[in-house]
Amino acid sequence: MEKRFSRRKFAASKELIRLILNKMQKLYFPLLLCLLSLSAFSQTGKIAGQILTSDGAPAEYVSVGLKGLKAGTVSDASGKFNLNKIKPGSYTVIISYVGLATQEKEVGVQDGATTEVSFTLAENANQLEEVVVQDFNRYNSKEVSSSLRLLSPIQETPQNIQVVTSKALSDQQVISMSDGLIRNVSGANRLEHWGDMYTNITMRGSQIQAFRNGFNVVSSYWGPLTEDMSFVDHIEFVKGPAGFMLANGDPSGLYNVVTKKPTGQTKGEASVTLGSYGLYRATLDLDGKLSTNGKLLYRLNIAGQNKKSHRPYEFNNRYSIAPVVSYQIDDKTKLTAEYTLQHATMSDVGSFYVFSTKGYGTLPVDFTTMPPGLSPSKMNDHSLFLNLQHQLNSNWKLTAQVAYFNYQQRGSSMWPSVVNPDGTMIRSVGIWDAKSEMSLGQVFVNGTVNTGAVVHKILGGLDVGNKDYLADWAQSHALDTLGAEFNPAAPYYGTPVNGFPVYDRTLNLEARAVAGGGVIDQKYSGVYLQDELGFLNNKLRLTIAGRYTYVSQSAYGGAAQTARHFTPRLGVSASLNPATSVYFLYDQAFLPQSGRLASGSDVKPITGNNTEFGVKRNWADGKWNTTLSLYRILKNNELTSDPNSPPNAGLSVVLGQKRAQGIEFDLRGTIVTGFTAVANYAYTDSKVTKVAEGITNIKVGDVIPGYAKHTLNSWLTYKIQKGALKGAGLSGGFTYMADRATSNWSDTQTQTNLPNYFKLDGGVFWEKDNIRINLNVFNVLDKYLYAGGYYDWLNAYYYQTETPRNYRLGISYKF
């Protein structure tokens, strides 16, 4: 039966490819003919060549241009480049890369002829790799990782993409995905994050999808376990649904965590971080060769930490191990294997919430309902990646990769079952044992084809995945009793009057999950094809693409639902000059979702579209850049939590349609020598435009919960360049949010906004040779900061407080 199923899937894939090609032809072929005709009038020549390192390896991403002209391109994976549609005459070809010496060569171009020219860098392949790594270690980056599959530099891509580099993460002492990361990206926000367990980032009015190395790693609403920064190289935020070719994507976007890989350099770094509230952390990063010829490389990252909280009895102790091995099989083929283990032992995940009938912020910032002695929750998160890259020829590259994820959790979640009008409550602790298993696969090709004066950058591939999530949350135990409720005004933290919970784990998790309705599964496959056409010496670029997705899924014991959908994509990008480009994007999204409707109806996938305009500019020869974008997103069928049910009930309602629109501005990079900056602003207007039948608690025009209309962030760093204080510096930044919406809907409360938010951070550092000492103070003004909402079913406000003023002292040594 499995073989017959595989043959059917193969036949279906061929039919899907045919369907995509037919739809693309009907939609875009007339437009393509018009653009091709523009390129056919003049007789021109071509300059082609290759750039190699000193040891004969191809040099990728090196900028190539003509002196005094705007024509330009970058070398591909084989080091080759083409400058098309060049008028006859004499020219000076210039190659450059940040950190490398510029080279020039004189060439002549004739009608209808190709002029060949080659360059050899002074650096070898390992040295060039080190330069590339250092480029990511700045605050801005010109390129995205290969896991996003885009052949063009960020400047030429018709999409708002923001890269948070490892240098930014290090300077800001970000130690996990849920720890201050979002200040680096316009419009990003976090809510319902369960402390440091899950990241849950919202942007452009919705929760965006979590990716790692190009794979969608969301197996349910709860997840994935937030990545420790010890094994993370950088993070790519893709705004809008352009990640459609990676997997099923949300119209609001995604973030892609790119893990550290071997560089070929023999080096290492050790660091120790101490901080407020019992933070003790150590990391070790080893990078080197396992063979003398440099073909077998390794990278090993290890981290461990003990961390308490500003709330008593809370803790989050973690360790991670992440070995990576790569092998250069031959000149054209490379295999990379990567394994990551993350282990967390943390206090009950519901203890972060505060419940009050009197309003937000009415209890002390360190208030908790959790008693000491409650069993901790334990998580083991395993992931395995295998990546094979093969250079088919000078113009085509094949990539095949698979990933396996296995997440296991044994723990509990606190939540009150009753909150009385006077604020007293009965605290309940529900079991939360869970297991997530995902098997994912991708095969894709990148290539370049010339048709006359038009350059085609082709991307095509297949994307398949199986995701299973099992959870037992059907057992609950009350810590308090009627007449002996917990009183927040006079909290008692001894042994609860009703004792601690003892759960029945006699049956295996699979059996308990089935009995309790805690089973979610998803199977999907998709094929996609994209063509980026370059006109007028690549000054004008047209992107035409389409994806066809099939998905089957079931949730909470319901029958499997299937869906099929075609999502087109059209993008235009134009270079006004070598430093400035403008773009337009129209994109659609298709995102299957899991949930259990309070009405009992079937859950439909999310569909939506995004229309976006933007301007990108590099300043000071690319040392810093800016992006300005305007967007409008329509999103249909999205689920939202049922406001009349407790969170652990797992019930949802269909919203209908919502519209998010806004303006985003991002600035990042080195403004002048020694002074670097990250600054961004976002205006977000997200409202309900249609209400599904039967929904009475949500109205057209209601604001969408969980975002701020105005968000402003900054992080500035100045390093002294000369004198006795050379190497010392100052850093600081703030986050400001205005018109903050609450975290959920409410029938009974008219208060839909939270107070404005302002958080100031700052620090000092000193670095010399291989040593860096960094001291940061967070929440310098010691503000009472929180986010929350109102639960109708409890008749109570709920919110999470952030850490008061706290510090981190880090010492790192490179060897």
- DSSP letter string, 198-257: B--EEETTEEPEEEETTEE---SSS-PBPPBGGGEEEEEEEESGGGGGTSS--TTEEEEE
- If you write DSSP's letter for every residue of 548-593 in order, what string do you get? EEEEEEEETTPPPEEEEEEEEEEEEEEEEETTEEEEEEEEEEEE--
Q: How far apart are CA 125 and CA 696, in angstroms?
A: 63
Using the structure block, give the residue that is written with the tokens 């002492």: 173
32 pLDDT more than 50: no
Domains of the chain as residue ranges with CATH: 2-124 (2.60.40.10), 129-259 (2.170.130.10), 267-412+423-470+493-814 (2.40.170.20)
Average pLDDT over residues 695-701: 78
Q: Which of 493-502, 649-658, 735-744 has the lowest mean pLDDT?
A: 649-658
Q: Which residue type does 375 have? A: S
Q: Which of 12-16, 509-513, 752-756 has the lowest mean pLDDT?
A: 12-16
pLDDT of the residue at 1: 43
Q: Each residue of 255-312: pLDDT tens digit? A: 999 999 998 889 999 999 999 999 999 999 999 999 998 899 999 999 999 999 999 9
The b/e string for 591-609 (b: 16+ C-beta within 10 A; e otherwise) is: bbbbbbbbeeeebbbbbbb
pLDDT of the residue at 409: 95
Average pLDDT over residues 214-218: 90
Under the banding of pLDDT at 50, 70 and 90, the label for residue 35 is: very low
Q: How far apart are CA 774 and CA 729, in angstroms?
A: 9
Using the structure block, give the residue that is written with the tokens 């010829």: 293
pLDDT of the residue at 659: 92
Using the structure block, give the residue that is written with the tokens 């990539």: 399
Residue 747, number of CB atoms within 10 A of its CB:
11
Q: Are 786 and 800 in contact (CB under 8 A)?
A: yes
Query: Per DSSP, what are the bridge partners of residue 609?
Result: 588, 634
Higher pLDDT, 756 or 620: 756
Helix (H, G, I), strand (E, B) or coil at 5: helix
Across the chain, what does the average pLDDT equal? Answer: 86
C-alpha to C-alpha distances, 383 to 211, 249, 379, 509, nearest whole angstrom? 13, 21, 13, 21
Instruction: Decide: residue 51, CB within 10 A, 0-12 exposed, 13-18 middle, 19+ buried.
Output: buried
Under the banding of pLDDT at 50, 70 and 90, the label for residue 564 is: confident
501 pLDDT more than 50: yes
Higher pLDDT, 740 or 695: 740
Helix (H, G, I), strand (E, B) or coil at 131: helix
Under the banding of pLDDT at 50, 70 and 90, the label for residue 133 is: very low
CA angle 157, 163, 165 (to 5 degrees): 145
> What is the rounded end-to-end Cα distance, in angstroms, of the chain?
56
388 pLDDT more than 70: yes
Query: Nearest CA to 48 among 107, 120, 100?
Result: 107
151 pLDDT more than 80: no
Under the banding of pLDDT at 50, 70 and 90, the label for residue 396 is: very high
pLDDT of the residue at 507: 96
pLDDT of the residue at 742: 85
Please state whether the peptide bond connecting residue 312 to the residue before it is cis, i.e. omega within 30 degrees of 0: no
372 pLDDT more than 90: yes
Q: How far apart are CA 783 and CA 687, in angstroms?
A: 30
Helix (H, G, I), strand (E, B) or coil at 18: helix
pLDDT of the residue at 137: 43
Share of the chain above pLDDT 90, in %: 56
Q: Each residue of 162-198: pLDDT tens digit? A: 999 999 999 999 998 888 899 999 999 887 656 678 8
